[in-house]
Amino acid sequence: MDPGLQIAASGMLTEQVRQDQLTNDLANASTPGYKTDESSQQSFDALLLANTSTGQTIGTLDTGVQIDRTVTDLAPASLTSTGEPLDFGIAGSGFFAVRTAQGTQYTRDGQFTTSAQGLLVDANGNEVLGQAGAPIKVEANGTVPASSLGVFNVTNPVQQGDNNFTGVAAGRASGVAQSGVLEGSGVDPAQTVVEMINSLQAYNAGEKVLQTFDQTMQRSATSVGSLSGS
């Protein structure tokens, strides 16, 4: 592949990933406890250019970029009072635990409700767990003491969707569960829109490069055909 095409194509692919992440962030700007993902880019090895006739070094040419790694920003957001007895937030670090079909997962989204069995569950019907790993019974008056909820320290948390994380529980976290509050989303909508515009401009720039290469190759093919027929 022509190096120019490779550079433009790799840049467009990385911006597509960035656009997907930013779009998902914006869609979760109001989701309690939502955490944003950020992907860093890494350059491919540079290509050393030299004069084919003399061998004299001309310089280097970057050969494109790729996604290096994706990191989730786990910084706690502020807590907002809701007055709802089954809304919970964590002041400080840690995660709530929920029992899913895929096993125990962890979340900062404490917008819970009551199941038909009278247990505390999340929006997807997953049972919320106490520190010992047992489901939590909602009291007859529709409340749950905040101290009943487990607050887990989780090592190597990986975002899985549905605002949940997988990871390894490593004891009780230092954060404290509070009732009648929800943690805000980690998304700054205004900043996210600005980043989306910048990413789209970068993508469009790569697209224009590809169009220029395509037009140049078409002209070259036409020229060769004309010379062959003359």
pLDDT of residue 64: 57
pLDDT of residue 7: 67
Residues in the chain: 230
> What's the one-letter identity of residue 229?
G
Helix (H), strand (E), coil (C) string for the chain: CCHHHHHHHHHHHHHHHHHHHHHHHHHCCCCCCCCCEEEEEEECCCEEEECCCCCCEEEEECCCEEEEEEEECCCCCCEEECCCCCEEEEECCCEEEEEECCEEEEECCCECEECCCCEEECCCCCEEECCCCCECECCCCCCCCHHHCCCEEEEEEEEEECCEEEEEEEEECCCEEEECEEECCCCCHHHHHHHHHHHHHHHHHHHHHHHHHHHHHHHHHHHHHHHHHC
> Tens digits of per-residue pLDDT, 82-102?
999 999 999 999 999 999 999
- The pair of three-digit structure tokens given for residue 156, joined into one six-digit string: 């190597």
pLDDT of residue 207: 77
Within 10 angstroms of residue 79's Cβ, the number of other Cβ atoms is: 19
> What's the one-letter identity of residue 104?
T
- The pair of three-digit structure tokens given for residue 88, joined into one six-digit string: 């919970």
> Tens digits of per-residue pLDDT, 166-184?
999 999 999 999 999 999 9
Residues of the chain with pLDDT under 50: 47, 61
Angle (nearest 5°) at CA 177 between 175 and 181 = 120
Would you call 41 exposed, middle or buried from its count of C-beta atoms within 10 A (0-12, 13-18, 19+)? middle
> What's the one-letter identity of residue 169?
A
Among the listed residues 99, 85, 114, the one whose alpha carbon sits nearest the alpha carbon of residue 178: 85
Among the listed residues 4, 3, 1, 10, the one whose alpha carbon sits nearest the alpha carbon of residue 203: 10
pLDDT of residue 40: 62
Domain extents in the chain = 3-73+200-229, 79-183
